[in-house]
Homo-oligomer: A and B are copies of this chain.
Amino acid sequence: MWMTRSFTRKRNRRGQGPRLRAEIVDAATALIAHNGPDGLTLRAVAREAGITAPSIYPHFSGLDAVLEAVVDNMFAMLADYIRQSAGPAADPVSRLRAACHAYVGFGQKYPNEYAIMFTHKSELIADSTEPTVANMPGAEAFDLLLEPLRDCVASGASRSTNAQGDATALWVALHGYISLNTSLPRFPWPAGDTVIDILITHVAQLN
């Protein structure tokens, strides 16, 4: 069982109040990572952060707002994670494969956090914003799949004639792998990365 941190927090100095905001987000993330999304309450977050429950209100309107910040944070981490893994590779196919494996690797390294990124009520995305790729929460990560795929097409390594559609399909497939593999670990999965490689090769139509 996960235990609350036991050391006593030191109050922030004048003007440093907003630092607590980040600590609250970290505390919520840690709780999700260890207990899943279920036990997540305002009071639990406060306990984990080493503060009292009312102290959250100056920084967030409630638990939903905290969760939204956690999700935003995780999406930014995901994009960084993919960039770090896929950046070095020179040829487009290696870059695409690396990006896909990094995407799945992130989901498997942070399964509970990954799950809430997509479980989270999407109504929180402002209704006024146009539904384009650019202002989606996962837009950065999506682009990190789409661009290498486009490069594969340009270099003749992929037979795709619809990069946007195929990148979407690829995203869907990788997401499905993370989700199913996490929730059904007892399924007789083919060894190692077999399924991931099948998906990349065929959905991205690599030669």
Q: Which residues of A contact B (CB under 8 A)?
A: 115, 118-120, 122, 125, 131-133, 136, 138, 162, 164-166, 168-169, 171-177, 179-181, 183-190, 194-195, 198-199, 202-203, 205
Contact = CB atoms under 8 A, between A and B. Distances in A.
A149 to B, nearest CB: 13
Chain A contact residues: helix, strand, loop or mixed: helix
B188 A169 contact: no
Contact of A176 (B119, B162, B174, B202): B174
Contacts of A203: 173, 198-199, 202-203
Contacts of A180: 118, 171-172, 175-176
Nearest to A178: B176
A120 B115 CA distance: 13
A205 B205 CA distance: 10
A192 B138 CA distance: 22
A191 to B, nearest CB: 10
B188 A133 contact: yes
Contacts of A118: 179-180, 183-184
Contacts of A184: 118, 122, 136, 138
A22 B169 CA distance: 39
